[in-house]
Amino acid sequence: MCGITGFIQWSGDLTQDSQLLVKMTESLAHRGPDGSGTWISNPCAFGHRRLSVIDPENGAQPMIIHQEEEVYAIVYNGELYNAAELKDELVRRGHRFNTKCDTEVLLVSYIEWGPECLERLNGIFAFAIWDSVREQVFLARDRVGVKPLFYSYIDGTLVFGSEPKALLQHPKVEPVVGAEGLAEVFIIGPARTPGHGVYKDISELRPGMAMIFNREGLRKYTYWKLESKPHEDDADQTASFLRDLLRDTVERQLVSDVPVCSLLSGGLDSSALSSLAVDYYKRTGQGQVHTYSVDYVDNNKHFKSHSFQPGADAPWIKRMHEELGTNHHWIEFDTPELVEALDVSTQKRDLPGMADVDASLLLFCREIKKGATVAISGEAADEIFGGYPWFHREEMLNSGTFPWSVAPDMRAGLLSAEIRDWIKPLEYLGDRYSDAVAEVPKLDGETGQQAKMRIMSYLNITRFMPTLLDRKDRMSMGVGLEVRVPYTDHRLIDYVWNIPWSIKTTGDREKGILRKALEGVLPDDVLYRKKSPYPKTHNPNYLAAVKAQVLSILDDPSSPLLPLIDTARIRELASSPDASSNLPWFGQLMSGPQLFAYLAQVHFWLKEYNVSIR
What amino acid positions are annotated as catalytic residues?
2
User: What is the b/e burial string over 217-234, where b = at least 16 CB atoms within 10 angstroms of the residue's CB?
Assistant: eeeeeeebebebeebeee
Cα–Cα distance for residue pair 4/458, rounded to 1 Å: 30
Strand-strand pairing, 35-41 and 290-296? unpaired
**Sign of the four-CA dihedral 41, 44, 50, 55:** negative
Show the DSSP H helices in 229-370 as ranges: 235-253, 268-284, 299-302, 314-324, 335-349, 356-369
Contact 44, 137 (CB under 8 A): yes
SS (H, E, C) 103-120: HHHHHHHHHHHHHHHHHH
Other beta carbons within 10 angstroms of residue 552's beta carbon come to 12
Q: How far is CA 133 from the centre of its chain?
A: 34
User: CA separation (Å) from 234 to 241, 246, 407, 447, 494?
Assistant: 11, 18, 39, 20, 17
Rounding to the nearest 10 degrees, give the CA dihedral for residues 295, 301, 304, 310.
Answer: 50
Cα–Cα distance for residue pair 567/551, rounded to 1 Å: 9
Cα–Cα distance for residue pair 374/392, rounded to 1 Å: 34
Residues with Cβ within 8 Å of 373's Cβ and at least 6 positions away in sequence, in order, are: 51, 52, 53, 256, 258, 259, 260, 480, 481, 482
**Sign of the four-CA dihedral 205, 206, 211, 216:** negative
Cα–Cα distance for residue pair 137/349, rounded to 1 Å: 26
In the beta sheet, which residues pair with residue 519? Answer: 522
Helices and strands (DSSP H and E) totals, the chain: 26, 19
Cα–Cα distance for residue pair 396/406, rounded to 1 Å: 8
Reading phi first (left if > 0) and then psi (alpha if -120 to 50, else beta), residue 570 is in alpha
DSSP 134: T
Strand-strand pairing, 2-8 and 157-161? antiparallel
**Neighbour-count burial of 342, counting CB atoms closer than 10 A to its CB (0-12 exposed, 13-18 middle, 19+ buried):** buried
Cα–Cα distance for residue pair 63/558, rounded to 1 Å: 47
Strand-strand pairing, 290-296 and 260-263? parallel
Cα–Cα distance for residue pair 614/599, rounded to 1 Å: 20
User: What is the b/e burial string over 308-319, where b = at least 16 CB atoms within 10 angstroms of the residue's CB?
Assistant: ebeebbbebbeb
**Prior bond to 560 cis, omega within 30?**
no
